[in-house]
């Protein structure tokens, strides 16, 4: 609808949009740039009677104006005023009323002592920097009458800030709020990809002392996978500070999670600034990473279809038609095949080389690389289509059984994580049988993934078997693409659940593994008796291990070091993770025995071994107008192994 309207708008204004009808603007004539040959109306101060400019903060203007309109009637009939009247709808509410007010400052500048006062160039430049992308998103040039050099003045020349009155009103609103009840204002609308990028970047800039935005890669169609991070030291892993990630929109047509995470980012920034003690404590002790959209390409298709179709038809997959939640390495099958082997390690399972011969989505690759590069402790992936929290394993231990309870070694911890979200949600865990998600009422809104329905290649299973991270899947509701009127109620249903889930990372135990000299030991393992799932230490030797209350025997060891065990009791009412440190002594290395427990590190580190993705990111090399032949990504594998490639593979070159 927006493009249709814009086409009509362009048709109506085509003859006059690019340049104004006047041969010389009064402002340019004053500067000696040109001279009008027509008889002009004498500049006169008059009352401001433009309805779309009624809130500019002054009541008198002058005609002819900066644009050469001879009267208020001329200004009202101009294309500039028409654009200001539709700017809110045209830009989906983004950057308004700022653009409208700055436009009004050109169209109807204030008059004082029979002189016109121009708007400040600095205001215009700041506005264009923040909002230029909104016009690019609808394939429209920046409006000519907002030319910062031509129609605006410097501070030295004397100017006024057209946004000063707006800022004063906003400040008055903020000051009227009770300091005991901090308040954050969020616009609960659907957000296009360009709006999402802009909003997250602006949020990070607004709270640069606790936030930053960074990209983990690009999609098939070249869109950024943009993450916003919150921490009291953004960009750095701090010793003993747990890392949490929240991922939305993995399926492009499941939109609610994407919107909730965008709102959460704004909420965290604003509430921290307003002095909310809960949010300040959370951000000061936790590093939070939010990937609002893992599949922005799919979202584009779903958004074109719109919420009236409920998002069920298009946009689930990425631009390669790959379901991203079936595209991760199937490490669960590897686990099932080897779980009875006494010496086979059931955590940090390497990615099989054969996986790289399959079709790996760039979105999947980016998230895997991201998950390996940061020591995440806990994660949640937000989906839509049901109202329930599921947890690993997602793939049945008997693949032919599509609905079979298939627990991990951390079944109790996963149930605790799932319960945290479901119980904090306003309806997910209640026993009402006449609602979305009602058939999960017996388990109060949580379920083992494979017991619900089994499938391989899930992101949650990959996180559990390849990294330290424990991830749950949150199905947010039966409507995958809710209408805008539902967004605020959904935020109220999920806000507390999101906050409590992030806070729940401060459970179990944490600590540092050091040598006798006090140096942290990287890649030491932390084992808990009775749970065949170890976690490893990060660069500084710190670790986090999520555990349920009770007594646990915890053992730390590292290759070439002694083994140390401790008995740890975690009471039911413990509100934070218990501190358990270890000091290890160096011992003679026993490679044969140790290699059972510590597979060669290069095996786990073997990621994208044939440079499949580097090939697609390297530019083609051209010499003297001739494009060099680039070997396919699998060529190095066969060259190094001495094996000849099969004919069918050679024919594909």
Q: Which residues pair with 477 in a beta bridge?
A: 386
| 3-state SS track over 207-253 | CCCCEEEEEEEECCCCCEEEEEEECCCCCCCCCCCCEEEEEECCCCC
Q: What is the pLDDT of residues 366-377, one digit of tens each?
A: 999 999 999 999
313 Rama class: left (phi>0) / alpha (psi -120 to 50) / beta: alpha
pLDDT in tens, 281-320: 999 999 999 999 999 999 999 988 777 665 566 899 999 9
- Residues with Cβ within 8 Å of 70's Cβ and at least 6 positions away in sequence, in order, are 40, 41, 63, 64
Reported confidence tier of residue 41, pLDDT bands at 50, 70, 90 = low
Task: Find the mean pLDDT for residues 183-205.
Answer: 89
Min mean pLDDT across 43-52, 86-95, 641-650 is at 641-650
Residue 264: the pLDDT is: 97
**Which of 243 and 168 is assigned the larger pLDDT?**
243
Degrees to nearest 5, angle at CA 244 with 239 and 250 = 150
Catalytic residue, candidates 475, 496, 539, 614: 475
DSSP 263-323: HHHHHHHHHHHHT-HHHHHHHHH-EEEEES-S-HHHHHHHHHH-GGGTT-SS-SS-TTS--
Mean pLDDT of 522-527: 97
pLDDT-derived band at 171 (thresholds 50, 70, 90) equals low
Residue 76 CB-density burial (10 A; 0-12 exposed, 13-18 middle, 19+ buried): middle
Q: Is 496 helix (H, G, I), strand (E, B) or coil?
A: helix
Q: Is 14 a catalytic residue?
A: no
pLDDT over 60 at 231, yes or no: yes
pLDDT grade, residue 336 (50/70/90)? very high
Residue 168 is predicted with a pLDDT of 77
In this prediction, residue 36 carries a pLDDT of 54
Average pLDDT of the residues in 107-119: 91
The pLDDT of residue 338: 85
Which pLDDT value is given to residue 628? 35
pLDDT of residue 85: 80
Burial letters 624-650, b for 16+ CB under 10 A, else e:
eeeeeeeebbbeebbeeeeeebeeeee
Mean pLDDT of 9-38: 46
Question: Is residue 1 over pLDDT 50?
Answer: no
Greater confidence, 244 or 617? 244
Ranges 46-60, 101-115, 164-178, 625-639: which has the least confidence: 625-639
Q: How confident is the model at residue 604 (pLDDT cuts 50, 70, 90)?
A: confident
Average pLDDT, the chain: 84
Helix pair 256-274, 193-206: axis angle to 10 deg: 20
Percentage of the chain modeled with pLDDT above 70? 81
* Category of 57 on φ-ψ map: left (φ > 0), alpha (ψ -120 to 50) or beta: left
What is the per-residue pLDDT for 399? Answer: 80
Q: When comparing pLDDT for 133 and 375, which is higher?
A: 375
Cβ–Cβ under 8 Å, residues 152 and 143: no
User: Does the pLDDT value for residue 104 go beyond 70?
Assistant: yes
Structure tokens at 608: 């994208």
pLDDT at residue 137 is higher than 90: no
What pLDDT, on a 0 to 100 scale, did the predictor assign at position 581? Answer: 98
Mean pLDDT of 396-412: 92
Q: Measured between alpha carbons, how far is 187 from 400 in angstroms, rounded to an integer?
A: 47
Q: pLDDT tens digits, residue range 549-596?
A: 999 999 999 999 999 999 999 999 888 999 999 999 999 887 655 444
Q: How confident is the model at residue 435 (pLDDT cuts 50, 70, 90)?
A: confident
Over residues 195-214, the pLDDT tens digits come to 999 999 999 999 999 999 99
pLDDT band at 3 (very low <50, low <70, confident <90, very high): very low
Q: At 619, is the pLDDT very low, low, confident or very high (cuts 50, 70, 90)?
A: very low
């Amino acid at each position: 609808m927006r493009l249709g309207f814009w086409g009509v708008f362009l048709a109506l204004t085509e003859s006059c949009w690019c340049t104004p009808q006047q041969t010389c603007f009064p402002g340019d004539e004053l500067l000696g740039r040109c001279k009008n040959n027509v008889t002009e109306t004498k500049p006169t101060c008059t009352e401001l009677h433009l309805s779309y400019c009624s809130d500019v903060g002054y009541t008198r203007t002058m005609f002819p104006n900066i644009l050469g309109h001879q009267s208020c009637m001329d200004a009202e009939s101009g294309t500039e005023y028409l654009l200001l009247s539709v700017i809110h709808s045209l830009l989906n509410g983004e950057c308004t009323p700022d653009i409208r007010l700055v436009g009004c400052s050109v169209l109807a500048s204030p008059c004082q002592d029979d002189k016109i006062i121009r708007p400040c160039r600095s205001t215009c430049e700041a506005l264009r920097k923040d909002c230029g992308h909104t016009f690019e998103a609808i394939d429209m040039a920046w409006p000519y009458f907002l030319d910062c050099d031509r129609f605006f003045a410097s501070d030295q020349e004397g100017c006024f800030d057209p946004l000063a009155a707006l800022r004063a009103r906003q400040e008055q609103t903020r000051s009227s709020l009770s300091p005991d009840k901090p308040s954050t204002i969020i616009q609960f609308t659907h957000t296009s990809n360009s709006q999402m990028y802009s909003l997250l970047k602006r949020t990070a800039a607004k709270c640069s002392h606790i936030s930053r935005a960074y990209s983990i890669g690009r999609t098939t169609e070249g869109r950024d996978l943009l993450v916003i991070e919150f921490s009291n030291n953004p960009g750095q892993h701090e010793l003993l500070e747990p890392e949490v990630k929240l991922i939305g929109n993995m399926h492009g047509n499941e939109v609610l999670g994407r919107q909730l995470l965008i709102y959460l980012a704004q909420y965290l920034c604003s509430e921290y600034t307003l002095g909310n003690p809960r949010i300040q404590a959370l951000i000061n002790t936790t590093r939070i990473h939010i990937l609002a959209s893992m599949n922005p390409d799919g979202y584009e298709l779903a958004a074109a279809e719109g919420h009236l179709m409920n998002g069920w038809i298009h946009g689930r997959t990425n631009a390669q038609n790959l379901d991203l939640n079936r595209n991760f390495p199937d490490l669960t099958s590897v686990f099932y095949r080897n779980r009875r082997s006494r010496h086979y390690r059931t955590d940090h399972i390497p990615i099989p080389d054969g996986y790289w011969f399959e079709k790996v989505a760039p979105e999947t690759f980016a998230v895997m690389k991201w998950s390996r590069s940061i020591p995440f402790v806990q994660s949640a992936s937000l989906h839509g289509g049901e109202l329930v929290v599921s947890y690993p394993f997602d793939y049945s231990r008997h693949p032919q059984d599509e609905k079979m309870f298939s627990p991990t070694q951390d079944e109790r911890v996963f149930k605790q994580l799932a319960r945290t979200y479901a119980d904090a949600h306003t309806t997910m865990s209640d026993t009402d049988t006449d609602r979305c998600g009602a058939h999960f009422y017996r388990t109060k809104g949580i379920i083992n993934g494979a017991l619900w329905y089994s499938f391989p290649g899930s992101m949650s299973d990959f996180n559990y078997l390849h990294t330290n991270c424990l991830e749950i899947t949150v199905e947010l509701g039966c409507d995958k693409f809710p209408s805008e009127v539902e967004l605020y109620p959904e935020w109220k249903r999920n806000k507390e659940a999101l906050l409590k889930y992030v806070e729940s990372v401060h459970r179990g135990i944490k600590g540092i593994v050091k040598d006798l000299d006090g140096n942290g030991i990287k890649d030491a393992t932390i084992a808990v008796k009775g749970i065949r799932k170890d976690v490893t230490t990060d660069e500084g030797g710190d670790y986090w291990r999520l555990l349920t209350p009770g007594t646990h025997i915890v053992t730390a060891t590292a290759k070439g070091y002694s083994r140390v065990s401790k008995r740890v009791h975690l009471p039911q009412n413990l509100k934070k993770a218990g501190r358990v440190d270890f000091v290890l002594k160096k011992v003679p290395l026993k490679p044969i025995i140790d290699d059972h427990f510590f597979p060669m590190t290069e095996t786990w580190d073997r990621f994208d071994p044939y440079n499949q993705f580097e090939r697609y990111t390297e530019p083609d090399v051209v010499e003297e107008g001739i494009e060099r032949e680039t070997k396919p990504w699998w060529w190095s594998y066969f060259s190094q192994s001495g094996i000849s490639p099969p004919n069918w593979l050679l024919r594909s070159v």
